[in-house]
A and B are shown apart, each in its own frame.
Chain A
Amino acid sequence: MPTVFDRRAGLRWGWIAGLALVFIAAIGMLETFDERLILSPVLSMGFLMLLWPVSVMGFQASAVEVREGTDPPRHGLGSVLTGALVGGTAATMLAVFTWVLATFDLRFAFINLSPALLQILTFSREPMWLGATVMFGLVVLLGAVGGAVHLAPAGMRKRGFIVVASVIVVALFERVFTQILRQIRAEDVFDNVFGRSLINLVFDEGGLTWGVALLIAGVAFWLSGRKSKGRVQNMTNRLTSSDRAERTRWSLIYAAGVLVAVAVAPVLLGSLLSEILANVGLFLLMGLGLNIVVGLAGLLDLGYVAFFAVGAYTVGLLTSSQFGFEWSWWAALPVALVASAIAGLLVGIPVIRMRGDYLAIVTLGFGEIVRILFLSDWLKPAFGGAQGIINISPIDLGFTEVSGISPQSVLYFAAGFVAVAAWVSWAVQSSRVGRAWTAIREDESVAEVMGIDTVRAKLSAFVVGAILAGAGGALFAAKVGSIFPTSFRLLVSIIVLVIVIVGGMGSIRGVVVGAVVLIGVLGGPTAPGLLLEFADFKLLVVGALLIFMMLIRPEGLLPSVRRSRELHHTELTQDAWLDKAGEAADDASEVPG
């Protein structure tokens, strides 16, 4: 039996894991996240962040490559040892780091290297070497566990993963669950009946209590064992079914489901979570718009925030008491849409003939120009300069007003806008102009020769994208009530682009997922997400996520069929080539003519 102890892989992955550990500790993630418990009272989010890389890399290092025509090496003690070597290497680096931390005071340069961090790394034990040794052993053990996972049969491995993931997810999103429990009055009822707080029973300082954790693990284990294979596949099959009637019916059913969920969500979720979701809606609106520009027409626009700003400023200008117009939001909205469309044309006409990187750079410049114009003293009488525009009137619905004071109302409103934007995205995608966009993205010169006026088609993509961003801006102005040039930084463009990339270019569902993950979970450029603790590390996580996606899944989380075809072109072509053996036989039997 070939041995599977792989010294080189162990050292290599161990080195990476060690770097990750030291990095996480040194940037203060460990310390910040230590406040937040996952499993009460032993496991904090800080430790979770610190320890998972070791296990994952232990698992990676001891994975074996299966080569055709050879017996794959079997997993055994060697896998565990490789994992342990990963752990050992990482632990050594962490130990050195701990020693440096204990010996020198480096806070003049690295503000996070504090005594508090040292305490965490040594479990606040005295003498210090004892704690450090325990930490060393723990890291080695986790590496070994990572390697040992290979010994479990594939099915069990998957179930184990689901169990661990569900416990962690429930604990991470503690805020959602407690909020729902409060909102549906389960908390009060429980309190009345049993005289105890339900939330305190489940969560302790944000961490799951042991009993509940075990319960969740049990349920997850039971559910993961049931045959669920193909169920999601079934759902998507229904939506892409060749039978038109069935497709329509299921689309309607799913749409109704979404509608009900959206109608109920604000009631269940309360203000804070509604606020987060309303932000998701805003970015979703922009994401859908940019998806048309980048995902469908292939025009990399890095100054997209400019159109968002134009929409917001138009509404601000027309509705705020500051300038004496004081229109209603409804009257200002069409003007804002037209203004952003014109802005799209103005930016588009000079730059649209450029391709690829050049277009990206020029739009980047235009985005900044727009922000600086709004910021300038020169235009201060018109746009308020750095002081921005305040007192923007809320949206008057007759029976109620939509503004940031009531995030629920904003959420309903944003949901309506998103529904319209999604419809527009879908409708243009499968139309004459949508096909022309796809052709331009595929090969611009050929599209031109095939009779498509590429300048006009690209401009129309630009304008549609601009209008959607303008609608987002109009909503944003009414929501926050006051706008400043700082709200329209380059970062917003980048985040929206990342939403589109992470979700999957050209895919409406993908953009939804991207917005929920990035804005909902991690938080937007300024607004917090569900994981409040991530606020300081948001950009780091976004960057890491982007790199990870580019390496592992460049087509995004929920890609459009066409996009994933593009990126896995070679593999499919190979398959097609293999299939051709059969096809050639078919061709030969056909009579020509």
Chain B
Amino acid sequence: MALLQINELKKSFGGIQALGGVEFHIDEGEIVSVIGPNGAGKTSFFNVISGMFVPDGGEILFDGEEISGLEPSAITTLGIARTFQNVRLFANMSILENVMVAQHCRTSRGLISAILRTAAFKEEEREIEERARDILGFFGTRLVGYRFDQPAFALSYANRRRLEIARAMATQPRLLLLDEPVAGMNPKETAELTGLISRLRDERGFTVVVIEHDMRVVRDVSDRVVVLDHGVKIAEGSYEEVSTNDDVIEAYLGRPAEETQ
């Protein structure tokens, strides 16, 4: 059974159809890329899965369970985490706090134990911090040491993107949705992050969906590529299959002039 199975997913905003019946599935342990020209509906696709938008129709089955219409926090608790294309960190919280706060749905100590500073509370706080350090350690030396206590806005652009991924990892998901993880990075940083995406699956066991414009990244990380255009899936398959598909080339480059007439 697929980890995530999406059937006939629809979402429109006023007269604009962002998603017009998307079919999608991903198995446990896969890395699937979602590509498509600007405005194809990729980010709307993520927004609907993560619960920020309620779909107009269709079903989203996560591990066989219908999740459309649930609160975003409930969906995250079930095991889907995401990053944002336009980095949305908690800018004034420290790097460590950003990762600690994301463990909210995996921890349970409430206000009373915090006020009484019970042993269980202290133990849980210690665990939260330890896990946060461990997750940040995943990115090598980039986000550790003196950086722990720096506010997130003090980070460089590439590091903010890394922290976004760390924060999503901290919710302990089964499925990670990465929205343009290398956008705006230089070639060296891109290469580094490409390796990281593979490691997310190989070392940490996440199933990953990536939205990406950088075709080298798509080629290097994907088991399978799904192409969206105008809110519908126009192609699916391996990178090689998709990159030679006529519909895909047309979606990106447009039709040759003689045919349009």
Contact = CB atoms under 8 A, between A and B. Distances in A.
Q: Is chain A's interface secondary structure helix, strand, loop, or mixed overall? A: helix
Contact of A443 (B73, B90, B117, B128): B90
A566 interface: yes
A427 B92 contact: no
Interface residues of B, number: 48
Interface in B107-161: 107, 109-111, 114-115, 117, 121, 124-125, 128, 140-141, 151, 153-154, 156
A593 B140 contact: yes
A584 B156 CA distance: 9
Contacts of B84: 446
Given A434-B114, A565-B92, A450 B192 contact: no
A460 B110 CA distance: 10
Contacts of A452: 73, 101, 104-105
A291 interface: no
B153 A573 contact: yes
B72 interface: yes
* Interface size of A as a range: 35 or more
Interface centre among B84, B90, B107, by most A CB within 10 Å? B90
B188 to A, nearest CB: 7
Contact of A423 (B50, B73, B115, B171): B115
Contact of B93 (A451, A562, A573, A583): A562
B92 A566 contact: yes
Contacts of A593: 140, 192, 195
B82 interface: yes
B4 to A, nearest CB: 16
Given A427-B115, A439-B93, A580 B171 contact: no
A447 to B, nearest CB: 8
A436 B101 contact: yes
Contact of B76 (A449, A573, A587): A449
A576 B104 contact: no
A550 B50 CA distance: 38
Nearest to A242: B149
Contacts of B111: 428, 431, 433, 460, 464
B167 interface: yes
Contact of B192 (A445, A451, A562, A592): A592
B71 interface: yes
A431 B93 contact: no
Contact of B50 (A438, A449, A592): A449
B110 to A, nearest CB: 7
A425 B105 CA distance: 22
A435 B121 contact: no
A423 to B, nearest CB: 7
Contacts of B76: 449-451
B6 interface: no
Contacts of A434: 114
A453 interface: yes
Contacts of A569: 91-92, 153
Interface string A543-565: 00000000000000000001001
B191 interface: yes
Contacts of A428: 111, 114-115
A590 interface: yes
Interface of A: 423-424, 427-428, 431-436, 438-439, 442-443, 445-454, 460, 464, 562, 565-566, 569, 572-573, 576, 580, 583-584, 587, 590, 592-593
15 contacts: A428-B114, A432-B107, A432-B128, A433-B114, A438-B92, A439-B101, A442-B90, A442-B93, A448-B72, A449-B52, A450-B104, A451-B171, A454-B73, A572-B153, A573-B154
